[in-house]
Amino acid sequence: MAGIVANNYGSFDVTFVGGNGAELVDKNGKKYIDFVSGIGVNCLGHNNPVLVKALTDQIKKEIHIGNYYTSDTNLAFAEELTKATGMKRVYFCNSGAEANEAAIKLARKFGWLESKDKGGKRKTIVTLKQSFHGRSLATLMATGQEKFHPDCFAPYPDGFKYIEPGDFDAIEKTFDDSVCAFMMECIQGEGGVNLVDEKWAKAACDAARKAGALVVIDEVQTGMGRTGALFASLAMGLEPDVITAAKGIAGGVPMGACIFGGRATDVFVAGDHQSTFGGNPLACAGGRAVLAEMLKPGFFEHVNKVGKLITDTINSWKLPCVTLVHGKGLMLGIDVTQAPGEIQKKCLENGLCVSTAGTKAVRFLPPLVLTEEQALAGLAIFKKVLESV
Ligand SMILES: *Cc1c(COP(=O)(O)O)cnc(C)c1O
C-alpha cells in the first residue's frame, strides 16, 4: 500500500489489528504494551467496554445530525463539560488545530471589540518559544518554533509574538494594549515535555489579564486527565478564559473543543465560526463516556500513582544514559543521551510502543488506565533497549 496513502508521516511498518486496555496486537499476532495511545488519544485504552457501549448505542440512535438542529447528546456533553470546568460555553470541532484556530478567532474578535473605538489595534497573540499549537497555517504561526515556518508554505498569517517561558523581563516588555491574547501549554508536549514554571505561568497570565488580554490555555495534550487532573491549568489555578482540548476528549473519536467563559463568554455570535462535523453526536457520546469515567472517584489518583511508579522506577536504575525524567501524571519525557528515534524503533521491535518529543526526549503517553503491572512490564523492555542502544 506504500505510496497510496500520502507519505506525510513516515510511519513504522507495523499494522495493529486490535487491542485491550494498554495492550495491542499486530497482524502477526505479536503483542505490544502501548505507551503512546495514538499520541495521547486512547485515554480509556483500547476496546474499553464503557466507551464501546456508549458509541454503539449512539450509532443506533444517530451518527450525525448537523448544526441546523440540536442533539440531546451534544447538549448533554456541553453541559457536563462546562460544569466540570466552571466555564460558560463550548464550541465543538474535530481536532486540536481546529480548537486552537477557534480560540485564535475568538481572541482576535475579542481584541477588535475591545479596541474598535481606537482603530481596532488589539490583535497580537503572544505564545511561547518551543510551543506547539497545530498544523493549520494560523496554528503553525502560533507555534513558537522556527522549523514549523518553512518558506514553502508561506505566506503565513501575521500577528504572533513569542516569548521564552521563564523570562520575567519578557512579561514586562510584551504585554500592552496591542495584545488580545496570551496562549500557552502548561507542559509543552511536542516541544519536549517541557514543564512551564508554575510561578512564571501565573505571572504571565496575570500580566496578560492586566493588559486587557485573554488567557488561552492549549490543553490539547495536557487536558482530559493526562497530567493527573481534568485540566492542568485549572489544577494550577491559572484561571483561563479559554481552554482548548482534543486528543483524548472522546477516547479516540475525532473531536476538539474550545471551552470558554469569563470575558470570552459572549464574543462569538451566530455565523462567526462553524464546522459541519462540529459537535457530532457520535463524538459527543464518546466525550460523555470519557468524562464520566474520569470523574469517578480514584481515576486521577490512579494516573498520578502509575506516573510516579514509572518515574521512580526509571530513576532507581541510575542509568548514565538517562539524564532527566520529567512531566506530570502520565505525560512523561525521559531525556536520553542516545537518539530518541533509535530507542523508539528498538522498543517497537521488542514489543513496546513509545513516542518521542523535542530533540532528546523519549515520551510516554500511555492510556490512563495503564495498570502497574503493565507499566513495569513496559519498563523492563525500555530498560533492556536503553542498555543495548
Ligand atoms: C496535538 C496537539 C495539537 C494539534 O492537534 P491536532 O488534533 O493534531 O490538530 C495542538 N496543540 C497541542 C498542545 C497538541 O499536543
Please say whether the beta carbons of 51 and 251 come within 8 A. Answer: yes
pLDDT (tens digit per residue) in 320-342: 999 999 999 999 999 999 999 99
- Residue 135 CA: which ligand 1 atom is closest? 9
Residues 358-376 have pLDDT tens digits of 999 999 999 999 999 999 9
Residues recorded for the chain? 389
DSSP code for 36: S
- Residue 10 near residue 2, CB atoms below 8 Å: no
189: amino acid identity, one letter: G
177 CA from centroid of ligand 1 (Å)? 29
244 Cα–ligand 1 center, Å: 10
User: 2 pLDDT exceeds 80?
Assistant: no
What atom in ligand 1 is closest to the CA of residue 247?
Answer: 7
Residue 60 has pLDDT above 80, yes or no: yes
134 lines ligand 1 (CB under 6 A): yes
Q: Helix axis angle, 281-294 relative to 49-61, nearest 10°? A: 150
Residue 1: pLDDT band by 50, 70, 90 thresholds? low
Listing DSSP states for 121-142 in one string gives ---EEEEEBT----SSHHHHHH
Percent over 90 (pLDDT), the chain: 98
Name which residue sits closest to atom 11 of ligand 1, judged by CA: 133
**Distance of CA 220 from the midpoint of ligand 1 (Å):** 6
Q: Which residue has the higher pLDDT, 20 or 7?
A: 20
Q: Is the CB of 223 under 6 A from ligand 1?
A: no
Ligand 1: which of 42, 92, 190 to mutate, judged by most atoms within 8 Å of the beta carbon? 190
Q: Is the CB of 355 under 6 A from ligand 1?
A: no
User: By C-alpha distance, which of 26, 42, 24, 25 is closest to 34?
Assistant: 24
Atom of ligand 1 nearest to the CA of 96: 5
State mean pLDDT over 279-307.
Answer: 98
Task: Say what the pLDDT of residue 10 is.
Answer: 87
Chain segment 190-207, per-residue pLDDT in tens? 999 999 999 999 999 999
CA of 246 to the centre of ligand 1 (A): 7
Ligand 1 atom closest to Cα of residue 98: 9
221 lines ligand 1 (CB under 6 A): yes
For residue 95, the model assigns a pLDDT of: 98
Question: Cα(144) to centroid of ligand 1, in Å?
Answer: 14
Q: What is the spatial order of strands in the sheet that 331-336 belongs to? A: 322-328, 331-336, 361-364, 355-357
Neighbours of 88 (CB within 10 A): 14
> What separation in Å is there between the alpha carbon of 314 and the centre of ligand 1?
27
Residue 95: CB within 6 Å of ligand 1?
yes
Q: How far is the CA of 361 from the centre of ligand 1 (A)?
A: 18
pLDDT of residue 159: 98
What band does 57 get if pLDDT is binned at 50, 70 and 90? very high
Mean pLDDT, the chain, whole residue set: 97
186 CB near ligand 1 (under 6 Å): no
Going from the Cα of 389 to the center of ligand 1, the distance in angstroms, rounded, reads 30
What is the Å distance from ligand 1's center to 61 Cα? 30
Q: Are 112 and 120 in contact (CB under 8 A)?
A: yes
Summarize the confidence of residues 151-157 as an average pLDDT: 97
Summarised one tens digit per residue, pLDDT across range 181-240 is: 999 999 999 999 999 999 999 999 999 999 999 999 999 999 999 999 999 999 999 999
Measure 115 CA to ligand 1 centroid, in angstroms. 30
3, pLDDT greater than 90: no
- Name residue 156's amino acid: Y
| Contact call for residues 168 and 202 (beta carbons, < 8 A) | no
> Does the beta carbon of 97 lie inside 6 Å of ligand 1?
yes
Establish whether residue 381 lines the binding site of ligand 1, counting it when its CB lies within 6 angstroms of any ligand atom: no
